[in-house]
């Protein structure tokens, strides 16, 4: 089980940090990939009208890279009202101290404002409940494996704690305790040398044109000590192109290093070559994306198909939960 917030088109950081692993998981596991639009509202509630468009964009990106709706269940969170109901039931058994100490929440609060007090003033009831909603996302499908980076294991603690608490309160072993599936998530730098992110304006999007990609890569920060083309470069000091080469052209690294350090290739030419490599890599993704974008009905059908599959499972989970809790459906 994994999800992404629909906040805009995806970039290379999303691909190498998550999607590349999802492609593997859909072959091995009964996978659920959710476009978590309610989560987008926890911080971007004022931009709610932009969410439907972002959902389409993210679905296009997923399908274009090879997420296969025949193999994985691809759905939109808000199409599954049972997740909201489960979230409500979980909120009744979640001590508020658990929510307040949750590291995910602390990270999100930091993004709201630079001043800590100001940031906490912006925390809504919905944002505070973010980890409970995340738990409902996972447990609605009795998710047993959740892909996370090694530094994010604490994010899953919360879901495990709620699963354990539910089982203990109601004397059951109904919910599995979701386990982390550790994934390699290389920290991809944006062209300015900071972490790649849409909000930093330094990202290379999967759907960028080859021309835009070249333009962006040409701005990438290289070895700041290399002033003239005739100066030997240092790959160890090259901030953006070299790390990207390490991801994209593992078999030609020696050649790139040798040409850099012997000053036989200047940084501009080196970056043009790198842009070509990235554009070659993304060409089939972009072609597939353009094909899908030209047929919005097909994308809509894929989402509806996944929604129906996901809803069936979540409905079953909710009805079993209600039975365990001894609740009667009155309507
Ligand atoms: Fe980086 Fe290439 Fe310049 Fe060397 S030649 S510093 S690898 S951009």
Q: Do 10 and 93 have their domain in common?
A: yes
What CATH number should be reported for the domain holding residue 19?
3.40.50.620
Dihedral (CA of 311, 314, 320, 325) sign: negative
**pLDDT tens profile 57-66:** 999 999 999 9
Q: Do 183 and 312 have their domain in common?
A: yes
Residue 196 lies in a domain: no
Model confidence at 49: pLDDT above 70: yes
Domain residue limits at 213: 208-290
Mean pLDDT of all residues in 16-37: 95
Q: Do 261 and 311 have their domain in common?
A: no
Q: Do 245 and 122 have their domain in common?
A: no
Tell me, in angstroms, the distance from the centre of ligand 1 to residue 6's CA. 35
pLDDT for position 328: 85
Residue 202 lies in a domain: no
Nearest CA to ligand 1 atom 4: 260
| DSSP for residue 233 | P
**Is any atom of ligand 1 closer than 6 Å to the C-beta of 238?**
yes
Tell me, in angstroms, the distance from the centre of ligand 1 to residue 114's CA. 34
Indicate which atom in ligand 1 lies nearest the CA of residue 245. Answer: 7
Q: Do 214 and 271 have their domain in common?
A: yes
pLDDT for position 150: 65
Q: Give every CB contact of residue 114 below 8 A, 6+ residues apart in sequence.
A: none
For residue 59, which of 103, 106, 19, 26 has the smallest C-alpha distance? 19
Q: Do 36 and 152 have their domain in common?
A: yes
Q: Do 113 and 150 have their domain in common?
A: yes
Nearest CA to ligand 1 atom 3: 267
What CATH number should be reported for the domain holding residue 251?
1.10.240.10
Residue 147 lies in a domain: yes
Model confidence at 112: pLDDT above 90: no
Model confidence at 104: pLDDT above 80: no
**pLDDT tens profile 160-185:** 999 999 999 999 999 999 998 877 76
**Is any atom of ligand 1 closer than 6 Å to the C-beta of 274?**
no
Q: Do 128 and 245 have their domain in common?
A: no
Model confidence at 4: pLDDT above 90: yes
CA distance 102 to 130: 10
| DSSP for residue 11 | B
Q: Do 152 and 9 have their domain in common?
A: yes
**Tokens matching residue 42:** 């926890």
Mean pLDDT of all residues in 320-326: 97
Residue 198 lies in a domain: no
Mean pLDDT of all residues in 28-54: 95
Residue 197 lies in a domain: no
Q: Do 146 and 161 have their domain in common?
A: yes
% of the chain residues with pLDDT over 90: 79
Average pLDDT, the chain: 93
Angle at 244 between CA 243 and CA 248, to 5 degrees: 125
pLDDT for position 73: 97
Please give the radius of gyration of the chain, using alpha carbons only, rounded to the nearest integer: 22
Q: Do 99 and 161 have their domain in common?
A: yes
Residue 270 lies in a domain: yes
**Is any atom of ligand 1 closer than 6 Å to the C-beta of 242?**
yes
Q: Do 156 and 83 have their domain in common?
A: yes
Mean pLDDT of all residues in 200-215: 95
Strand order, beta sheet including 73-76: 2-4, 32-35, 73-76
Mean pLDDT of all residues in 146-168: 86
Model confidence at 110: pLDDT above 90: no
116-125, 214-223, 298-307: least confident range = 116-125
């Amino acid at each position: 089980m994994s999800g992404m917030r629909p906040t805009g088109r995806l970039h290379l950081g999303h691909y190498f940090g998550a999607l590349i692993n999802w492609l593997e998981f859909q072959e091995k596991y009964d996978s659920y990939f959710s476009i978590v639009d309610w989560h987008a509202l926890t911080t971007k509630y004022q931009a709610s009208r932009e969410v439907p468009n972002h959902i389409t964009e993210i679905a296009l990106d997923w399908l274009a890279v090879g997420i296969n709706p025949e193999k994985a269940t691809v759905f939109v969170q808000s199409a599954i009202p049972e997740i909201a109901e489960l979230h409500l039931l979980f909120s009744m058994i979640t001590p508020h101290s658990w929510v307040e100490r949750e590291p995910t929440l602390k990270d999100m609060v930091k993004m709201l404002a630079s001043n800590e007090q100001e940031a906490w003033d912006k925390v809504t009831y919905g944002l505070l409940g973010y980890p409970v909603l995340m738990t409902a996302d996972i447990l609605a499908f009795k998710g047993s494996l959740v892909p996370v980076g090694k530094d994010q294991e604490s994010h899953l603690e919360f879901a495990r704690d709620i699963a354990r608490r539910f089982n203990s309160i109601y004397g059951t072993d109904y919910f599995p305790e979701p386990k982390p599936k550790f994934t390699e998530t290389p920290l991809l730098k944006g062209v300015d040398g900071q972490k790649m992110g849409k909000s930093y304006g330094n990202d290379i999007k999967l759907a960028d044109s080859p021309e835009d990609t070249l333009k962006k890569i040409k701005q990438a920060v290289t070895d700041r000590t290399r002033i003239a083309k005739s100066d030997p470069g240092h790959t160890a000091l090259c901030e953006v192109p070299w790390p990207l080469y390490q991801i994209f052209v593992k078999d030609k690294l020696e050649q790139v290093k040798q040409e850099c350090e012997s000053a036989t290739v200047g940084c501009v030419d080196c970056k043009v070559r790198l842009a070509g490599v990235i554009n070659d890599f993304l060409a089939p993704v972009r072609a597939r994306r353009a094909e899908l974008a030209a047929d919005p009905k097909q994308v809509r059908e894929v989402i509806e198909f996944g929604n129906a599959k996901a809803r069936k499972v979540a409905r079953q989970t909710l009805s079993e939960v209600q039975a365990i809790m001894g609740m009667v459906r009155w309507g």
